[in-house]
Structure 1
Amino acid sequence: MPSKANQMLSKANRHIAIGLLEDGQSQRAVARRMNIHQSAISRLWERYRRQTSAADAPRSGRPRATTAAQDRSIQVHHLRHRSATAISTAQQIPRLRRLSLQTVRNRLREAVLRARRPYYGPVLRQEHGLHRVQWCHNFQIWNVSNWRRIWFSDESRFPLELHDGRMQVHRRRCERFVNACVPQVDRFFRTVL
């Protein structure tokens, strides 16, 4: 199991910590300077004295399927094309063998890019404004008894197949209304036609 020092300190910071310890500074002072727990510095120093190396210890488990450059290209691809699917990304990333869809999803999760349903922004033209004003003029004389005859309902979707055809965009937190994440639709003319 990898030590806490390996998980929290980069390779360069590990060498800096070893250098400070060799200069005679206390483990507590080095831990405070590196903003890490003193026990992690103690384990790092103990391993360095035993192995004369601050490199990562060999770890068990499956090796990573992608390199750091491929991870960045997956993230950049989804930031440029917010509605791209994992299948299209897996086919476009240059590799010796095809990436699995789960690997792409894992890399997006590491980059805090989640697939969410988009907020649809209306395309507002001049005719939309005219139609809205006309609608308001038609119904401004209505009273409460007229509006009581109108039944407002909440429509729900019940997909009969696995995929309901909805589009998803990959976005970070607080990016719901970013222009890249908002597809524009013309709902008014779709319902009129």
Structure 2
Amino acid sequence: MPRNLISDFNKSKIVVLLQKGFTQSDIAEIVGVTQSTVSKNNKKFQETNDVKDRPRSGRKRCTTAVQDRQISIIAQRNLL
């Protein structure tokens, strides 16, 4: 199940609103996320002093964006 990602701008907005004294519930309504998202974002900011996502593990890409476009074009031609 995919995660709903929030932008770095909204993460920064959450931190600023918390520092101004807003409650987590109020911030959740303002930004349009759940209260737990506000809480997790705050905890992460307290630990790292940053709102950006940490690098994730995973397999490296084998193709470039140009190669992906070429593969897509070839596949579309073969469908016709």
Partner of 1:43: 40
Identity, % of aligned positions: 24
Taking the aligned partners of 2:22 and 2:79, their CA distance within structure 1 comes to 59
* 1:22 lines up with 2:24 in the alignment: no
TM-score (norm 2): 0.72
Alpha-carbon separation, structure 2, partners of 1:16 and 1:62: 32
Following the alignment from structure 2 to structure 1, what is the Cα–Cα distance between the partners of residues 38 and 32?
10
AA in 1 matched with 2:54 = A
Counterparts in 2 of 1:166 and 1:48: CA distance versus 1, 3 Å: closer
More helix by share: 2
Compared CA separation, residues 32 and 59, structure 1 to 2 (3 A): same
TM-score by length of 1: 0.33
Higher strand share: 1
RMSD over aligned Cα atoms: 2.9
Q: Distance in 2 between matches of 1:51 and 1:166?
A: 49
4+ residue runs over 3 A deviation: 63-66
Unaligned runs of 5+ in 1: 75-85, 91-100, 106-114, 116-164, 168-193
5+ residue gaps in structure 2? Answer: none
Q: Which amino acid aligns with 2:39?
A: S
